A and B are shown apart, each in its own frame.
Chain A
Amino acid sequence: MEDLEKVIAVAVNEGADYCDVRFVVNREEEIRVRGRNPEKVSSKVNQGYGVRVLLRGAWGFAAGQDPEQTATRAVKVARGSALAKKEDIKLSDLTPCTGSWKAPMKKDPFSVPMEEKLSLLSDCGRALLEHKDVKVAQASMRTRSQEKWFSSSEGAKIHQDTTFCGAGITAIVVKGGDVQKRSYPTSFDGNFSQQGYEFVEALSLYDHCEETAEEAIKLVDAETCPSGTMDIVLDSSQLALQVHESCGHPTELDRVLGFEASYAGTSFLTQEKLGHYRYGSPSVTIVADSTTPGGLGTFGYDDEGVKACKTTLVDRGIFSGYLTSRETAHQMGERSNGAMRATDFNFMPIIRMTNVNLMPGDYTFEELLEDIQEGIFMQTNKSWSIDDRRINFQFGCEIGYKIKDGELTDVIKNPSYTALTPEFWGACDAISKDWHLWGVPNCGKGEPSQTMFVGHGAAPARFRNIRTGVG
Chain B
Amino acid sequence: MKEEYLSIVEKAVKMSKADQCEARLSGMSWGLTRFANNYIHQNVVEDNAELTIRSVFGKKIGKAQTNQLDPESMAEAVRRADDIARVQREIPDFVSLPSPDPVPSVKGFFKETADVEPDARALVVKAAIDQAETMGMESVSGTHYTGTEEIAVANSLGIEAFFRGTLSCFKINTRLGEGTGIAQRFSRNHKDLNSEALTEKACHKALNSRKTEPANPGSYQVVLEEQAVCEMLMYLAMMTFGAQPYLEGRSAFSDHLGDQVADSSISIWDDGLDERGFPLPFDAEGVPRQKVDLIEQGIARNVVYDSYYAQKAGTQNTGHAIDLPFGTGPFSANMFMGEGKSSLEDLISECKRAILVTRFHYINPMHRLKTVITGMTRDGTFLIENGEIVKGLKNMRFTQSVLGALSTVQGIGDELGILRMEYAKAAVCAPALRVGEFTFTGSTLF
Q: B325 an interface residue at 8 Å Cβ cutoff?
A: yes
Q: Kindly supply a per-residue 1/0 record for chain B positions 274-295, scoring 1 wherever the CB is within 8 Å of any chain A CB and 0 otherwise.
A: 0000000000000000000000
A-B pairs, 9 with minimum CB distance: A80-B118, A471-B399, A262-B173, A392-B444, A42-B63, A84-B126, A174-B249, A262-B141, A80-B122
A63: B residues at CB distance < 8 A: 44-48
Question: When the two chains form their complex, are residues A83 and B422 in contact, meaning their CB atoms are under 8 A apart?
Answer: no
Given known pairs A177-B369, A259-B36, A448-B32, the reply for A77 and B446 (CB within 8 Å) is no
A385: B residues at CB distance < 8 A: 362-364, 374-376, 397
A346 to B142 Cα, complex, angstroms? 20
Which residue of B37, B47, B62, B125 has the most chain A CB atoms within 10 A of its CB atom? B47
Q: How large is the interface on A (under 10, 10 to 19, 20 to 34, 35 or more residues)?
A: 35 or more
Question: When the two chains form their complex, are residues A30 and B45 in contact, meaning their CB atoms are under 8 A apart?
Answer: no
A468: B residues at CB distance < 8 A: none
Question: When the two chains form their complex, are residues A178 and B397 in contact, meaning their CB atoms are under 8 A apart?
Answer: no
Given known pairs A59-B40, A114-B87, the reply for A77 and B45 (CB within 8 Å) is yes
Can you name 23 A-B residue pairings with CB atoms under 8 Å? A32-B327, A34-B327, A40-B63, A59-B41, A60-B43, A60-B118, A61-B43, A62-B45, A64-B47, A80-B43, A84-B35, A84-B125, A118-B89, A136-B248, A179-B368, A262-B142, A383-B365, A392-B444, A394-B397, A414-B366, A448-B422, A449-B422, A471-B441
B77: A residues at CB distance < 8 A: 45
Q: Which of A80, A138, A189, A262 is B182 in contact with, Cβ under 8 Å?
A: A262
Can you name the residue of chain B whose Cβ is closest to the Cβ of A39?
A: B327
Q: Which of A38, A45, A113, A392 is B65 in contact with, Cβ under 8 Å?
A: A45
Question: When the two chains form their complex, are residues B43 and A65 in contact, meaning their CB atoms are under 8 A apart?
Answer: no
Question: When the two chains form their complex, are residues A392 and B40 in contact, meaning their CB atoms are under 8 A apart?
Answer: no
Q: B42 an interface residue at 8 Å Cβ cutoff?
A: yes
Can you name the residue of chain B whose Cβ is closest to the Cβ of A32?
A: B327
Can you name the residue of chain A whose Cβ is closest to the Cβ of B91?
A: A37
Q: A47 an interface residue at 8 Å Cβ cutoff?
A: yes
Q: Which of A41, A44, A178 is B66 in contact with, Cβ under 8 Å?
A: A44
Q: B330 an interface residue at 8 Å Cβ cutoff?
A: no
Q: Which of A43, A59, A383, A388 is B43 in contact with, Cβ under 8 Å?
A: A59
Q: B39 an interface residue at 8 Å Cβ cutoff?
A: yes
A82: B residues at CB distance < 8 A: 122
B122: A residues at CB distance < 8 A: 80-84
Given contacts A34-B327, A174-B369, A471-B367, 6 further A-B contacts (CB under 8 A): A37-B92, A47-B68, A80-B121, A87-B39, A261-B36, A447-B42
Q: B414 an interface residue at 8 Å Cβ cutoff?
A: no
Q: Which of B67, B80, B439 is A47 in contact with, Cβ under 8 Å?
A: B67
Q: B208 an interface residue at 8 Å Cβ cutoff?
A: no
Question: When the two chains form their complex, are residues A392 and B43 in contact, meaning their CB atoms are under 8 A apart?
Answer: no
Q: A115 an interface residue at 8 Å Cβ cutoff?
A: yes
B250: A residues at CB distance < 8 A: 135-136, 172, 174, 179
A23 to B63 Cα, complex, angstroms? 25
Question: When the two chains form their complex, are residues A73 and B45 in contact, meaning their CB atoms are under 8 A apart?
Answer: yes
Question: When the two chains form their complex, are residues A80 and B119 in contact, meaning their CB atoms are under 8 A apart?
Answer: yes
Given known pairs A62-B45, A447-B32, the reply for A383 and B63 (CB within 8 Å) is no
Nearest Cβ distance between residue B38 and chain A, in whole angstroms? 6
Question: When the two chains form their complex, are residues A348 and B42 in contact, meaning their CB atoms are under 8 A apart?
Answer: yes
Nearest Cβ distance between residue B387 and chain A, in whole angstroms? 29
Q: Which of A44, A89, A449, A470 is B399 in contact with, Cβ under 8 Å?
A: A470
A86 to B325 Cα, complex, angstroms? 39
Question: When the two chains form their complex, are residues B362 and A471 in contact, meaning their CB atoms are under 8 A apart?
Answer: no
Question: When the two chains form their complex, are residues A41 and B123 in contact, meaning their CB atoms are under 8 A apart?
Answer: no
A447: B residues at CB distance < 8 A: 32, 34, 42, 143
Complex interface residues of chain B between 367 and 409 (CB less than 8 A to chain A): 367-369, 372, 374-376, 378, 395, 397, 399
Q: A46 an interface residue at 8 Å Cβ cutoff?
A: yes
Question: When the two chains form their complex, are residues B119 and A84 in contact, meaning their CB atoms are under 8 A apart?
Answer: no
Q: A418 an interface residue at 8 Å Cβ cutoff?
A: yes
A8 to B341 Cα, complex, angstroms? 58
Question: When the two chains form their complex, are residues B40 and A418 in contact, meaning their CB atoms are under 8 A apart?
Answer: no
Q: B165 an interface residue at 8 Å Cβ cutoff?
A: no
A46 to B182 Cα, complex, angstroms? 36
Nearest Cβ distance between residue B316 and chain A, in whole angstroms? 22
Can you name the residue of chain B whose Cβ is closest to the Cβ of A37?
A: B91
A60 to B33 Cα, complex, angstroms? 10
